[in-house]
Amino acid sequence: MSSTEENLKVVAVEVRDIRFPTSLQSDGSDAMHTDPDYSCAYVTIRLASGLEGNGLTFTNGRGTEIVVQAVKSLSYIVVGKIVTDIYKDFATFWRSVTSEGQIRWIGPEKGVTHLATAAIINALWDLWGKLVKKPVWHLLADLEPEVLLSVIDFRYVTNCVTKAEALQLLKQGQVGKEERIKKLLQTGYPCYTTQAGWLGYPDEKIRELAQKYLDMGYTVFKVKVGKNLQDDIKRCKLLREIIGYDRTLMVDANQVWEVQEAIDWMKELAQFKPLWIEEPTSPDDVLGHAEIARALKPLGIAVATGEMCCNRVLFKQFMQAQALEYCQIDSARIGGINEILSVYLMAKKLGVKVCPHAGGVGLCEMVQHLQMWDFVALSGTSEGRVVEFVDQQHEHFVNPCIIKNAHYTAPSAPGYSTTMKPESIAAYEYPNGSEWQSLFAKGLFQDPKK
């Protein structure tokens, strides 16, 4: 083995349980998740040279320790590998993680093991970006179509998009790419805010935050619904009074309704002209979403879903069944960038708009890269598309996302924007971090060791 190869060997995979006490302020609260503590399983992949890649998967507090254990169980597949060998045949490597002969049984390609996969894969992409000294969106955009295809596992989706069709789509995306990169660098990518819409917020806080984001140039707002119809009517009315009807409003039920209940409830909220209802029912119910979509179409209300969609196969079915109009990929829910790229390709072929979910720890940081790649190298447009932005936990990242005029600014630092500050890790690692020790001492949270 050459000294260069020796330097590129993966010598360690470390994983930490990082949690933030967001439930204290009802940040992130919705009809399903009433007391979330925004958290992540944070992975560091270290090379012999000392270079590190950082990746994460977003979690909601309790249960993060289970994802951490799953990362440890999968890490043997990565340690000892020459990292450039992984990148040369990334699809095969991805399949070796998702189809590990024994661990696969407790997925497969869903739930805890897939969240762990995402954290590992995201760390590998961060490392790739750092190796070639490019932000991940630019790394993706610079890959030749054939090379980009080599990172995607097409198993189970060829009845929607074949490799040959995907190659054509990517080749078409090369036309005008440089002009779009220039435009992206000048203006960024449009975003919307959910920050004024959390279900646990009192009216005064909603009013104050809606006005704040309106003054910052936001024209698209999202509000949480689904617990109490009269409260939802009141909250939508309040937001419309502030933002008017010339701006866009979306609503999000976070999976709490039955199919018919979703239809009936949205007929009551139709007066507020929402662009979409997000996650109206079970995230696995393709036919239920299709039924809701058909019923609400005459009211001008679309269906959006995907943040809890567990893999490319389910996305395929949602799109083929016309069960969603807006596809919401999540950068940590399915198996990292490799699998997400296949969803973008299916969406492109079927004419579905991708509007990513973001907001949890590191999600905004990651997902901006994916949507920017799509704009410059695949769909070629941001028309009718917008990325979620939630103003939470960005201060804990070395290269946080930057918003100007309600647009994500194109990242310039190498990697996937997923490296956390050492002091944040020291403060918020659970349960021994200094902030958690302080919260336990004050009696605000129960110390799990007692």
CATH number of domain containing 213? 3.20.20.120
Of the listed 357, 369, 396, 407, which one is catalytic? 357
- Considering the domain architecture, whether residues 254 and 136 belong to the same structural domain is answered as no
Give the C-alpha separation, 364 to 392, whole Å: 9
Give the C-alpha separation, 168 to 244, whole Å: 43
Give the C-alpha separation, 19 to 269, whole Å: 35
- Considering the domain architecture, whether residues 83 and 133 belong to the same structural domain is answered as yes
Residue with token string 């399949």: 95
pLDDT for res 449: 87
- Considering the domain architecture, whether residues 118 and 178 belong to the same structural domain is answered as no
Residue 190 included in any domain? yes
Give the count of domains, the chain.
2
- Considering the domain architecture, whether residues 172 and 94 belong to the same structural domain is answered as no
b/e for 138-165, b at 16 or more Cβ within 10 A?
bbbbbbebeebbbbbbbeebeebbeeee
**Please, what is the Cα angle at 10 between 8 and 12, to 5 degrees?**
145
> What is the pTM assigned to this prediction?
0.96
pLDDT for res 24: 86
pLDDT for res 4: 82
Q: Which domain holds residue 391?
A: 165-409
- Considering the domain architecture, whether residues 129 and 169 belong to the same structural domain is answered as no
**Can 138 be counted among the known catalytic residues?**
no
Helix (H) or strand (E) holding 43: strand 39-47
Give the C-alpha separation, 74 to 64, whole Å: 16
**Can 110 be counted among the known catalytic residues?**
no
Per-residue pLDDT in tens (0 to 9) along the chain, 450 residues:
677 888 999 999 999 999 999 988 877 777 778 788 999 999 999 999 999 999 999 999 999 999 999 999 999 999 999 999 999 999 999 999 999 999 999 999 999 999 999 999 999 999 999 999 999 999 999 999 999 999 999 999 999 999 999 999 999 999 999 999 999 999 999 999 998 888 888 999 999 999 999 999 999 999 999 999 999 999 999 999 999 999 999 999 999 999 999 999 999 999 999 999 999 999 999 999 999 999 999 999 999 999 999 999 999 999 999 999 999 999 999 999 999 999 999 999 999 999 999 988 999 999 999 999 999 999 999 999 999 999 889 999 999 999 999 999 999 999 999 999 999 999 999 999 999 999 999 999 999 988
CATH assignment of the domain containing 25: 3.30.390.10
Of the listed 224, 353, 394, 396, which one is catalytic? 224
- Considering the domain architecture, whether residues 265 and 205 belong to the same structural domain is answered as yes
